[in-house]
Chains A and B, each alone.
Chain A
Amino acid sequence: MSKIVECKNLCKSYGSKKVLDNINLDIPSGKIVGLLGPNGSGKTTFIKLLNGLLTPTSGKILIDNNTPGVETKKIVSYLPERNYLNDWMKVSDLIKFFKDFYDNFNADKAYDMLGKLGINPKDSLKTMSKGTKEKVQLIFVMSREAKLYLLDEPIGGVDPAARDYIIDTILRNYNEDATIIISTHLIADIEQILDEVIFLKEGQIVMAKSVDELREESGKSVDSLFREVFKC
């Protein structure tokens, strides 16, 4: 099986604080991977390192055999945990922007999803609620035909009904060769779609396995195992 992500001895510190400590990890193509851990365990830092928004303190990251750069950015579609779209553009302007910069952006798909969620492409982001902005961002991210999707807390800020739609959207809009990495602490909501899980605790990998293996070995669901591992 080919690897889409490869990390070797990856470390990241902010000042003297170690956020990721010697991560060694291979993530295969064609999987939905849950990046799970409590707040402050290094999930967001890991995803930002994969995007090249942070520079590793030491160690190495390869995405499709390239270090993060122009080539990897072409094939990685990233949903950050914050609003990264400027307020003054209309949704339709932003679609043009994405189409201009990403060859693999499918504008028809984006318009289709916007229609289904009742979002008017002529609206500017300024007028939208936080939840609607998040939906718009997810639509853009999932409208790209990428090889690797990095979704940082995609369901954190939206209501449960929208949550189902978002999970459904994620599942319907990726091709089988692509890998999706979803970071969250809302495990129960996404457990049923995960192929693999990575448990992060204080910057270290506690466990990285397929969900089937994990269930067989422990006889527990991912959610209850998570509660056990990260018991306070």
Chain B
Amino acid sequence: MLGKLIKYETKATARVFLPLYSVLLLFALINRIIDLFRTIPDSNKMSFGKILSGFILAVYIVLIIGTAIMTIVIMIQRFYKNLLGDEGYLMFTLPVETWKHIVSKLLIAILWIVLSILAALCSVIIISGISMSELMDDFVNIIEIIKGQIGTVGLYLAPFYIFVMTVLVIITIYAAIALGHLFPKHKLVTSFAMYAVIYFVNQLISVLYIMVFRNMFFKALFTPALISPHTVQIIISALIVLEALLAVGYFVLTNIILSKKLNLE
């Protein structure tokens, strides 16, 4: 059943994102082409070509920002509308465990975050006109610099850290919406309020956590020149553990609310 939920969640969201990515990449390409054919690059005169290229660039910037906003909006909307709005009457009468609904929404939200970032990167690469071999060289260089800072182990830990952080951000939003839903009125407003509360709780727990392991964290903080890759690795690992625990906690909370306290009014 989880597979089927994921399939329909993908379908429901792909119809927004795929056209959006296509238009974004198309405008990046148009920018690139205009750039190639620009005849008098240093002219100060306002020409039709200049206005046009300015306009195309503006559209492209709007599209990049729009993609970022849409990724967040759709993530919230799919949870709020599809599970707790009218469509929830269908979703919650399917013979499916509640946690599968949450997991399917979470996985697909992650998928679109990753793809939105990739689409944005691709569009930048297209506009810059950088060649594939240059790109690969730059990529290898950047990786080497990061590796020097955080070591090989750190290099493997970093993507994992980003993944856990992303999951935590999403599940925090889900938990806030679920908590907001416990209130009899103004569910959307209370959801935002709950997000603020959870955000504060997260900060508080993080501070406590850092205090507990203060020796390690403060050593790193006050003597930045002396940070060894080993210290960075320990800090990243510690943060992964903290954020994973928080994410699990909010997942369990969301699941309990949606399965034991559900009230679709």
Does residue A217 face the partner (Cβ distance < 8 Å to B)?
A: no
Give residues 1-57 of A contacting B (CB, 8 Å).
14-15, 48, 51-55
B92 adjacent to A52 (CB under 8 Å): yes
Q: Which B residues are in CB contact (< 8 Å) with A70?
A: 95-97
| Nearest A-chain residue to B265, judged by Cβ | A14
Contacting pair A51 B93 (CB below 8 A): yes
Q: Does B262 contact A (CB under 8 A)?
A: yes
In the bound assembly, the distance between CA atoms of A84 and B82 in angstroms comes to 10
Count contacts on B: residues with CB < 8 A to the other chain.
24
> Main secondary structure on chain B at its contact with chain A?
loop
Instruction: Check if B8 sits within 8 Å of A55, measured CB to CB.
Output: no
The answer to whether B1 touches A101 (Cβ under 8 A) is yes
Knowing A48-B264, A54-B264, A86-B12, the reply to whether A73 touches B93 (Cβ < 8 A) is yes
Check A76 for interface membership: any CB of B closer than 8 A: yes
Question: How far, in whole Å, are A86 and B15 apart by their CA atoms in the complex?
Answer: 13
| Chain B residues within an 8 Å CB radius of A74 | 95
* Contact A55 to B95, CB < 8 A, known contacts A80-B89, A82-B86, A84-B89: no
| B11 CB, min distance to chain A CBs, angstroms | 8
- Is B128 interfacial (CB 8 A cutoff)? no
Q: Is A127 interfacial (CB 8 A cutoff)?
A: no
Whether A174 sits at the interface, judged by CB under 8 Å, is no
Nearest-neighbour CB distance to chain A for B195, whole angstroms, equals 23
Q: Is the CB of B89 within 8 A of A73?
A: no
- Residue A199 is within 8 A (CB to CB) of chain B in the complex: no
Task: Please tell me if B45 contacts chain A, counting CB pairs below 8 Å.
Answer: no
Instruction: Tell me the bound Cα distance from A129 to B1 in angstroms.
Output: 32
6 A-B pairs within 8 Å (CB atoms) are namely A14-B184, A53-B92, A54-B263, A100-B4, A102-B94, A102-B95
State the 4 A-B residue pairs at the shortest beta-carbon distance, nearest first: A84-B89, A73-B95, A74-B95, A84-B90
